[in-house]
Chains A and B, each alone.
Chain A
Amino acid sequence: MPLLSLRALTRRFGQTLALDRLDLDVAAGEFLTLLGGSGSGKSTLLRVVAGFETADSGAVLLEGRDLSGVPPHARPLNMMFQSYALFPHMNVAANVAYGLRRDGVPRAERDARVGQALAMVGLEGFGGRLPHRLSGGQRQRVALARALVKRPRLLLLDEPLGALDANLRERTGFELRALQRETGAAFIMVTHDQQEALALADRVAVLEHGRVVQLGPPRAVYDRPATRFVAQFLGAANVLEGRPDGAGGFDCPGLGATLRPEGALPPGTAACALRPERIALRPLAEGPNSAEGVVEEVAFRGDDSLLLVRAGGGALLRVGHAEEDGAPPPRGATVRLGWEAASVVPLAG
């Protein structure tokens, strides 16, 4: 049995559907990221599970038990808020101890567990500080310790790294991952940052318009996006419009070439995705899966360069150019592009 099951969850705000008959299962001990743009319903999903919003229809089952009608304080799960929501009038130790006090945990055990939780997030000795005397990163850790001190089987995290600067984000991300393994709790983390979602998760669920449009391990979702939206949202793939040529290829007029995927082209293919970093500046094979274009822009990005190449048919392609392949061609240069058949991903919608 999954730890958490969402069944046909629907939530409407006026005219907009925040959640649209959404189904999702989360296994015990799993790290799941919910990835989506603003308005995709990811935060609403978290708030419905925590009990701060009520679904219009559908069910939230935690270990098989229906949580509808159960108020937030009686739900055996915890949440870490995007703003951290620390209690400003309590010191760090009191913040962390709050949940244990509400449960009537005796003083001695409470103190021990608060100490453990603070040690777990590297904040020993900070118990007496008030939240406004802490840095952003420290506040984030207090919020995490406070949410984990009750040892929930399920922790919800709403953009937990969103307020941190880039350096701290990466390190804290790794720590989050380590904490999740250590505690064995299932983490459901909401993020709009695709790198974060891919780096931390066992599985990624991509949300659009209140529905899960793709769910799977990060590599699978990245390599085989199911829809146009996923392809563009994750890794900003080139989405090439066209139609099947009837001979196993996909005719793309904008490219002025034919795309030929590995294996058969599924019926109903409306477009194909091609990742920028899978396009080489030389033909890799004779015949299809190569095109010609003119370099319009070159942007140096440190570890690679991003080229905007106008293909013969008018389509603008994003092309990644690794540093070890030498200097990128200058603006205005005519280049020959090529890619492996395995890199062509047919998209259904």
Chain B
Amino acid sequence: MRPLLLRALPLALPGLWLALLVAAPLLVVLALAFAWPTESVPPIAPPWGAEGPNIEPFALVLEDPFYHAAFAQAALVAAGTAALCLLLGFPMAIGLARATPAWRLPLLMAVLLPFWTGFLPRLGAWIGLLRDEGWINTLLQSLGLIADPLPLLYSWPALFLGMAHAYLPFAVLPLYASLSRRDPAVEEAAADLGATPWAVFRTITLPLAAPGAAAAFLLVFIPAMGEYVIPELLGPPGAQLVGRVLWQEFFQNRDWPVAAALAVLLLLALLLPILLFQRLEARR
């Protein structure tokens, strides 16, 4: 029997990691949410002062319709992004799964390419394409197709474009994984029994891809829900998503307690999809 310390060591390292980089920041955020806003640096008074914890930030966030709307909007945008990524990712994943081994790696690389380019340069590229004096408007104007530039940038389509571009690999990879695990003979068996290609897709390919599609949806939805950079740089002014609101409360209003309360509630709101995703993965 080895000493307890030695056996505990392999667990200690990830434990320390979790304590330092996950649990501690979470506790800091939780403490911030109950702190008092002040005009000092940092702009807070701790919740363990004479006045006790401050429940005002949570009360505000839970009552004010502005914050409700921010949550609702973020959920809608995240769901829309996830749906868009599924729609675009499904044919890509099918193509990957059916590619010959020689083609598979280069195609996977191409799917992952957005991951390897810097996040901000990519958004910069979209801005360069979409703004009033951008490439698209300049091209259309020089062709004489339009007189005045189209309002492409700072719009909902631009927002979804940027979101889909950023999150597409999250959808393609789980879809590809679930499609490539399958026995290709299953689809041949369906065809052999009289199913037309469309019937094979409808009755075999699609239902078998459903768990992978659900996983892909959640993998996009969860990070997309808290996204703030893309709405800020590409979206319309009216896109007041919870991530963007949180950012504004923290950096512009310097109201750290409200920002922290928003962060805690966002985390709680995402627990449900995260648990759902874990149950799905455990079933596979």
Interface centre among B191, B192, B196 (most CB of A within 10 A): B192
Q: Are B191 and A71 in contact (CB under 8 A)?
A: yes
Contacting residues, chain B, for A88 (C-beta < 8 A)? 186, 208
Q: Are B185 and A72 in contact (CB under 8 A)?
A: no
Interface: A52 (CB within 8 A): yes
Q: Are A79 and B189 in contact (CB under 8 A)?
A: yes
Interface: A50 (CB within 8 A): yes
- How many A-B residue pairs lie within 8 Å, measured between CB atoms? 62
Q: Are A72 and B186 in contact (CB under 8 A)?
A: no
Distance A86 CA – B203 CA, assembled complex (angstroms): 13
With an 8 Å Cβ cutoff, the count of chain B residues facing the other chain is: 18
Distance A20 CA – B254 CA, assembled complex (angstroms): 80
Contacting residues, chain A, for B192 (C-beta < 8 A)? 50, 72-73, 75, 78-79, 147
Contacting residues, chain B, for A150 (C-beta < 8 A)? 193-194
Q: Are A146 and B185 in contact (CB under 8 A)?
A: no
Least Cβ–Cβ distance between A131 and chain B, in angstroms: 10
The 0/1 profile, CB within 8 Å of B marked 1, for residues 70-112 of chain A is 0111110011011101111100000000110011000000000
Q: Are A146 and B186 in contact (CB under 8 A)?
A: no
Specify which of B186, B190, B194, B208 is in contact with A103 (CB 8 Å cutoff).
Answer: B194
Interface: B123 (CB within 8 A): no
Knowing A83-B183, A88-B208, A89-B208, say if A102 contacts B195 (CB, 8 Å). Answer: yes
Contacting residues, chain B, for A83 (C-beta < 8 A)? 183, 185
Q: Are A87 and B190 in contact (CB under 8 A)?
A: yes
Q: Are B183 and A87 in contact (CB under 8 A)?
A: no
- Give the contacts of B224-276 with A (CB-CB under 8 A): none
- Give the contacts of B62-78 with A (CB-CB under 8 A): none
Knowing A102-B194, A102-B195, A102-B199, say if A81 contacts B208 (CB, 8 Å). Answer: no
- Give the contacts of B179-209 with A (CB-CB under 8 A): 183, 185-186, 188-197, 199, 203-204, 207-208
Q: Are B195 and A73 in contact (CB under 8 A)?
A: yes
Contacting residues, chain A, for B190 (C-beta < 8 A)? 87, 98
Contacting residues, chain A, for B189 (C-beta < 8 A)? 79, 81, 85-87, 146
Distance A124 CA – B153 CA, assembled complex (angstroms): 64
Distance A102 CA – B208 CA, assembled complex (angstroms): 18
Specify which of B195, B199, B207 is in contact with A89 (CB 8 Å cutoff).
Answer: B207
Q: Are A78 and B208 in contact (CB under 8 A)?
A: no
Closest residue of chain A to B200 (Cβ to Cβ) is A73
Q: Are B186 and A85 in contact (CB under 8 A)?
A: yes
Distance A150 CA – B194 CA, assembled complex (angstroms): 10
| In the A-B complex, the 5 residue pairs with the closest CB atoms | A99-B193, A102-B194, A85-B185, A85-B189, A72-B191
A–B pairs, 10, beta carbons within 8 Å: A50-B188, A73-B194, A75-B192, A88-B208, A89-B207, A89-B208, A98-B190, A102-B194, A147-B192, A150-B193
A interface list, Cβ under 8 A from B = 50-52, 71-75, 78-79, 81-83, 85-89, 98-99, 102-103, 146-147, 150
